[in-house]
């Protein structure tokens, strides 16, 4: 179970990093699909939260906070993408540290969840 748990959380971290990468790519002008960046329900990490964090790990209080922060990071991504769409590219790029701060909080919550689940085994 320890290896499965580790792989599950590593997979979630990769999905989370991919979201950040897609947002950054969009803001730097690539033709990245907006749906998974704008909508937490379309995002692969959002699927993991729904299927895993709010499923088998839902007893942990961090799972609900993780879901809340995930929605919040998408709201912030939408704000930056809207700035970009209005031609305010520099302000959008300048606001990326706020997304990074939320992303760090999400990663820390996932680490806490994984540690709690490991201790419970």
Structure confidence at residue 31 as a pLDDT band (50, 70, 90): confident
Q: What pLDDT score does 105 carry?
A: 97
**Three-class SS of 99-119:** HHHHHHHHHHHHHHHHHHHHH
> pLDDT above 70 covers what percent of the chain?
99
What is the mean pLDDT of the segment spanning 38-50? Answer: 96
What is the mean pLDDT of the segment spanning 6-28? Answer: 95
Identify whether the C-beta of residue 34 lies closer than 8 Å to the C-beta of residue 26.
Answer: yes
Q: What pLDDT score does 32 carry?
A: 84
Q: Which of 90, 95, 82, 110 is nearest to 17 (CA)?
A: 110
Positive or negative: CA dihedral 30, 79, 103, 54 = negative
Helix (H) or strand (E) holding 31: none
pLDDT in tens, 50-101: 999 999 999 999 999 999 999 999 999 999 999 999 999 999 999 999 999 9
Angle at 3 between CA 100 and CA 61, to 5 degrees: 50
Q: What is the mean pLDDT of the chain?
A: 95
Identify whether the C-beta of residue 1 lies closer than 8 Å to the C-beta of residue 121.
Answer: yes
């Amino acid at each position: 179970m320890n290896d499965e748990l580790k792989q599950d959380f590593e997979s979630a971290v990769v999905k989370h990093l991919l979201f950040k990468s897609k947002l950054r790519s969009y803001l730097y002008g690539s033709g990245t699909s907006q749906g998974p960046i704008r909508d937490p329900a379309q995002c692969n990490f959002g699927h993991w939260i729904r299927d895993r964090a709010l499923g088998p790990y839902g007893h942990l209080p961090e799972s609900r906070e993780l879901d809340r922060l995930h929605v919040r990071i998408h709201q912030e991504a939408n704000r930056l993408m809207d700035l970009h769409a209005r031609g305010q590219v520099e302000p959008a790029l300048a606001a990326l540290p706020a997304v990074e701060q939320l992303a760090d909080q999400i990663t820390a919550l996932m680490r806490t969840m994984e540690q709690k689940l490991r201790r419970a085994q």
